[in-house]
Amino acid sequence: MAYVAPVEDTLFILRHVVPLSEVAATERFAEATGETAHAVLTEAGRMATDVLAPLNREGDLAPARLENGRVRSSPGFERGYAAIAEGGWIGLSSTPDHGGAGLPQVLNQAVGEYMAGACLALQLNPLLTQGQIEALEHHADEAMQATYLPKLISGEWNGTMNLTEPAAGSDVGALRTRAEPNGDGSYAITGQKIFITWGDSDVTENTCHAVLARLPDGVPGVKGISLFMVPKLIPDENGKPGVANNLKVVSLEHKIGIHGSPTCVMSFEGAQGWLIGEPHKGMAAMFTMMNAARLAVGVQGVGVGEAALQKAAAYAAEREQFGPIIRHADVRRMLATARAEVFAARAICLACAQAIDLARATGDPDCAARAAFLTPIAKAWGTDVGCRVADTGVQVHGGMGYIEETGAGQFWRDVRITPIYEGTNGIQAMDLVGRKLADGGAAGFALIDEMQAGAKAAQETLPDLAEAVWQAAESLREATAAMAEASGPDRNAGAVPFLAAFARVLGAHYHLRAAQAGDESRRILARIYVERVLPRILGDLSEARAGAADLDALPDAAFAGAAGA
């Protein structure tokens, strides 16, 4: 069975679980009606299913390659990218002032999931472009916006994000790339960047690099960093791609997965660049881009998890071992748990997107705080679920899952990068327990209040499930209060399990909503989640509150197996 975009599941969530109607009730997104959502998602699902999904295996078997300094894309990728660009999918949520459709993020992220599930390696191209569009909309001057936004939104040009250097990964402030004024308003950018996704392309006519660099008067650390637009081909006076800039692709990384996505080592050799935003404020502009990408990466995890699950379920229905293996209890356990987890992760990501939309449309600080709180959860949990479900898909295939020809292993190899890039999941968790609890956890407690109110509302129709969700939320409330008061080291040591617990309870909350609104299969799926997934918060919360003392006490040598007798 080939991948089929889960349009009906998304529409169900947007009707009954994370209501699109709340977004459409705002003046800014009044056109995002249920009819609009149905039309947009149906067409996006068709494109992903029919055009992109057939390219996924080609990208794995025939990776992007570097020839004479130019990237050559995998077979069919040019055709697939054209379908994305010509369909207007890149600018779905971008400003209409420069050619975007101006639709809400909740629809944009749903479309992103379909494209990622169909062909993650290709979807990475528009994902990075969308992030750059957001950064330019918020931080660039009018002249730069006029030059770049129409081309990026149309898909004629693609955008990249250049942060990482050989000696500056998560510690961005250690970067060495420098920017020297040219005296004409532009800057000479010199340095090397690594892990640059789609750093060159033959599916677009120009590649636009957003590059972090330090001006001569920039102070050490992140406060002295600026952001620059450095195009591969410098636009001429008419905005057309002109002369080649002084930059090049040094090499392509040989990765575990996403082989069709060219991950470049970039060298900037006095390349001409222009400041995005204010000097020394580059991290603020880059974080606009990264925050957009963080939710989108969580959505990628959900998309690949969905694709892996579809393939595993189809195989289980066909594979005969004492009858179809889909009738075996353990196989059914794996598939049912995976289906429940994918639904929960999808709902969490759409809830995050909904909060972003409401914050933008209303300016409500509570909506903004909710979006900020949900972003690290959506990114980390969406990608963790994607990895788990892809791994489960291999297991369902049995020995054939370990054979490359089945394609089951590709989903795991492709999705495994998602917990790492755009801020590792450990960094997401530390952000959650650090900055997002810095106010005492108000946004977190508001979500817990909502979950408990939802459980109370379900007590008459689903009393046992409602009680389990209410009690889990109460345990989460106690842990959130403790985490907000804990020392920094103790918070960080418990950050990942705390995030996992919060995500599991949110997932149960959304399953409970679905069970109240849906048919018998929705209620059964909710029961599977509440009885089989939700109880794991006991271990999560125990670890979250264990502190850092035992971890610090263990000698470094013990990690290498050299502990004393």
CA-to-CA distance for 427 and 387, rounded, in angstroms? 18
CA-to-CA distance for 29 and 42, rounded, in angstroms? 19
**Residue 416 phi, psi (nearest 5):** -65, -20
Tokens of 297: 């990466």
Q: Give me the catalytic one of 113, 422, 478, 520.
A: 422
**Burial profile 361-377: b = 16 or more Cβ within 10 angstroms, e = fewer:** bbeeeebbbbbbbbbbb
Tokens of 219: 């102070």
CA-to-CA distance for 128 and 148, rounded, in angstroms? 14
CA-to-CA distance for 75 and 202, rounded, in angstroms? 12
Say which amino acid occupies 368. A
CA-to-CA distance for 386 and 348, rounded, in angstroms? 13
Long-range Cβ contact pairs of 433-439 (< 8 A, separation 24 or more): 433/483, 433/491, 433/492, 433/494, 433/495, 433/498, 433/499, 434/488, 434/491, 434/492, 434/495, 436/372, 436/373, 436/376, 437/480, 437/483, 437/484, 437/491
**Is 422 in the active site?**
yes
> E-assigned strands of 513-552?
none
**DSSP of 225-246:** EEEEEEESEEE-TTS-EEEEPS
**Burial profile 83-100: b = 16 or more Cβ within 10 angstroms, e = fewer:** bbbebbbbbbbbbeebbb
- 70 - beta bridge partners? 67
Q: Confirm if 60 and 259 have CB atoms less than 8 A apart.
A: yes
Alpha carbon 521 to chain centroid distance?
Answer: 28
Q: Do strands 187-197 and 263-276 pair parallel, antiparallel, or not at all (unpaired)?
A: antiparallel
Please name which of 480, 482, 309 lies closest in space to residue 386, comparing C-alpha atoms.
309
- Longest CA–CA separation in the chain, Å: 77
Please name which of 389, 395, 440, 386 lies closest in space to residue 415, comparing C-alpha atoms.
386
- Residue 42: how many other CB atoms lie within 10 Å: 14
Catalytic residue numbers? Answer: 422
